[in-house]
Amino acid sequence: NAGVTQTPKFRVLKTGQSMTLLCAQDMNHEYMYWYRQDPGMGLRLIHYSVGEGTTAKGEVPDGYNVSRLKKQNFLLGLESAAPSQTSVYFCASSPRATGGADTQYFGPGTRLTVL
Amino acid sequence: SQKIEQNSEALNIQEGKTATLTCNYTNYSPAYLQWYRQDPGRGPVFLLLIRENEKEKRKERLKVTFDTTLKQSLFHITASQPADSATYLCALENQGGKLIFGQGTELSVKP
């Protein structure tokens, strides 16, 4: 099993450009998440999904959109990139059952720089 | 809102000693608490989970305690090795059912 994979690993954008980050998991997990990690801020939840076809906002959703058309994939889109979106983005998945503990499996991250 | 505090200062210890990392939280009392390890340039990796009715949990050289009265968890690595050098993140579920993470504490084990 590859676990959680993310594409691309690195990307440099100019302000105003758009891009999509792809996350894929092969563990048949129901839940998927997108986080950003900034120095001194820890991991912050952007959006998440509790199943195919569902999405919901996390702590810092502004400027991002997501889609979960297939259970194994979770896409994060930036429609008009801003320098404040320079960060490392992590995708995670979990097999969480109702009332169960949410142990998450993380991808390797995407380092995004917006100039 | 739920807050997690981990010591932001790096912890430097000598190989063979026990490393102790602290995680304090405020407000809502979680049903369980987790610890993750993160190496530079990589995603966090789950290490241990401890539930509110468990005082202590062990896994090989790792030990986690959970004091719901003090609202604190301690993470211990005994007989530490240079390979244990990493950032360790504490995480707990908030009232909204979402996992929130501390900033992490960087551990450096010197040979």
Tell me the mean pLDDT in the region B38-61.
Answer: 94
| pLDDT for A105 | 95
Tell me the mean pLDDT in the region B63-84.
Answer: 95
| CB nearest B42 (choices: A58, A103, A108) | A108
Q: Report the side by side order of strands in the sheet with A73-78.
A: A4-7, A19-25, A73-78, A65-67
> What band does A22 get if pLDDT is binned at 50, 70 and 90?
very high
Higher pLDDT pick, B1 / A5: A5
Positive or negative: CA dihedral A48, B45, A94, A29:
positive
Residues of B in contact with A103 (CB under 8 A): 34, 46, 49
Tokens of B68: 């719901």
User: In whole numbers, what is the pLDDT of chain A averaged over residues?
Assistant: 93
| pLDDT for A99 | 58
| pLDDT for A97 | 63
Taking CA atoms, what residue in A is nearest to B52?
A: A101
| B80 Cα to chain A: minimum distance (Å) | 25
Closest CA to A94 of A23, A30, A22: A30
Q: What is the CA radius of gyration of chain A?
A: 13
User: What are A57-110's pLDDT values in tens digits?
Assistant: 999 999 999 999 999 999 999 999 999 999 999 999 998 765 567 789 999 999
Residues of A in contact with B8 (CB under 8 A): 40
| CB nearest A102 (choices: B42, B93, B103) | B93
User: What are B88-100's pLDDT values in tens digits?
Assistant: 999 998 777 788 9
User: In whole numbers, what is the pLDDT of chain B averaged over residues?
Assistant: 92
| pLDDT for A114 | 97
Tell me the mean pLDDT in the region B46-68.
Answer: 93
Tell me the mean pLDDT in the region B54-81.
Answer: 95
Strand partners, B72: B24, B67
* pLDDT-above-70 percentage for chain B: 99
| pLDDT for A96 | 77
Residues of A in contact with B10 (CB under 8 A): none
| pLDDT for A42 | 85
| Residue A91, phi then psi, degrees to nearest 5 | -105, 150
Beta-carbon separation of A106 and B41 below 8 A: no
A21 neighbors A109 (Cβ within 8 angstroms) = no
What does the buried/exposed string (b/e) look like for B60-93 if buried means 16 or more CB atoms within 10 Å of the residue's CB?
eebbbbbeeeebbbebbbeebeeebbbbbbbbbb
Number of residues that this document lists for chain A: 115
Mutation target to probe the A interface, by most A beta carbons within 10 A, among B7, B48, B50, B101 is B101
| pLDDT for A100 | 65
Tell me the mean pLDDT in the region B62-71.
Answer: 93
